[in-house]
Structure 1
Amino acid sequence: MEEQPELVEACLEKWDFNWLLHRATQRVGAAYAEEIAKFGVSLRGQLVLQALASDEVQRTQLKLGAMLGLDKTTLTSELDKLERAGLVMRVPDPNDRRVRTPVITDRGRELQKEAGDALAEVERAFRSRFTHEEMAIIRRALQDLSRGEGPMHGSCI
Structure 2
Amino acid sequence: MPDSVAESACAKRADLNWLLHRAAQKLGAIAQEAAAGHGVTPRGQLVLGALANADFPRTQLALGQALAVDKTTLTAELDRLERAGLIVRKPDPHDRRVRVPALTERGRAVQAEVARLQSEAEEEFTAELAPDELHLLRGLLERLIASAHRPDHGSCL
- Which interval holds the TM-score relative to the shorter structure? over 0.9
Please list the CA deviations of residues 117-156 of structure 1 after superposition, one character each: whole Å capped at 9, or x if unmatched.
Answer: 1111101101211000100110011101111221334210
* 2:146 alignment counterpart: 147
Alpha-carbon distance, 1:72 to partner: 0.4
* Structure-to-structure mapping, 1:23-62, within 5 angstroms: 23-62=22-61
**Aligned-partner residue type, residue 147 of structure 1:** A
**Aligned-partner residue type, residue 10 of structure 2:** C
Alpha-carbon distance, 1:94 to partner: 2.5
* Aligned equivalents of 2:43, 2:86: Cα separation in 1: 13
The answer to whether the 8 A contact 2:13-2:19 is kept is no
Matched, 1:18 2:20: no
Number of matched pairs: 156
* Aligned equivalents of 1:111, 1:145: Cα separation in 2: 31
134 and 120 in structure 1: CA distance in 2 versus 1, 3 angstrom threshold: same
Please list the CA deviations of residues 4-37 of structure 1 after superposition, one character each: whole Å capped at 9, or x if unmatched.
Answer: 3223212212311111111111111111111211
**Aligned-partner residue type, residue 115 of structure 2:** G
The two structures have a TM-score, normalised by structure 2, of: 0.94
* 1:111 alignment counterpart: 110
The answer to whether the 8 A contact 2:68-2:153 is kept is no
Runs (5+) with no aligned partner, structure 2? none
Alpha-carbon distance, 1:93 to partner: 1.4
Per the alignment, in what secondary structure is the counterpart of residue 70 of structure 1? coil
Runs (5+) with no aligned partner, structure 1? none
Q: Following TM superposition, where does structure 1 have runs of at least 4 consecutive aligned residues deviating by more than 4 angstroms?
A: none
**Aligned-partner residue type, residue 102 of structure 1:** P
Alpha-carbon distance, 1:3 to partner: 6.0
* Aligned equivalents of 1:128, 1:89: Cα separation in 2: 38
Per the alignment, in what secondary structure is the counterpart of residue 14 of structure 1? coil
